[in-house]
Structure 1
Amino acid sequence: MDVPISSRDFRCLQLACVALGLVAGSIIIGVSVSKAAAAMGGVFIGAAGLGLLIFAYPFLKSRFNLDHLLPTIGNLRIHPHPGPAQGQGGSSANGNKEGARSSLSTVSRTLEKLKPGGRGAEEG
């Protein structure tokens, strides 16, 4: 049997559920002795917060025009700065790569020396 419900009644029911979740979570956290019970109260408060967000979404959507804002946020990309021209700093970019390779090989040689039975133990 379908019972018709108005939009206003639905919103009031939603808000009542949010309030009940906040009150229940606060009471559970307030009287809890164990951490597990406090975590359960946090779940109630989190669910109430999500319910509040769902309740407020139509108002936020109309106020901030989220249909225009959300695609803009979704299209954000990171654009790296272009490096210096090849004539100006091409050798320095290669020098950085070589420096990283040489420091990596230095680290791997040092680790080899520190290993028991490694090359460093034979030399000493």
Structure 2
Amino acid sequence: MAKREDKRSPEAEAYRKLYATARWQRIRTKQLNDHPVCQRCLQRGYVTIATICHHVDKRSKRIDFFAGPWLSVCQPCHDGPIQQEEAIGYTNEIGLDGWPTHPSHPANRKR
């Protein structure tokens, strides 16, 4: 089986190794102990165990990786809508009314 290509930026590669440090593991453990439920799922009325300590502000990784702020989230939220929002500025999540929930989604922009 071929090795999967890593398409991270050089900047991401620079801070990626910090996730393996004891300091990060302590931060992650404290965050998940203090907030064990995925905060994004909870906003939508679901209770899901959080497994990821997410940097709320992507720029904070560059300034001080260990400073925070943090958000406890589940893997599906982190790998789906959160990364999509960081990449394109909005998510494609659909509300109960069938309309996109993110205010910056093109369907919600004033014409």
TM-score range, shorter chain: under 0.3
TM-score after normalising by structure 1: 0.24
Question: Higher Cα Rg: structure 1 or 2?
Answer: 1
Larger RCO (CA under 8 A, 6+ residues apart) = 2
Give the structure with the larger strand fraction.
Answer: 2
Give the structure with the larger helix fraction.
Answer: 1
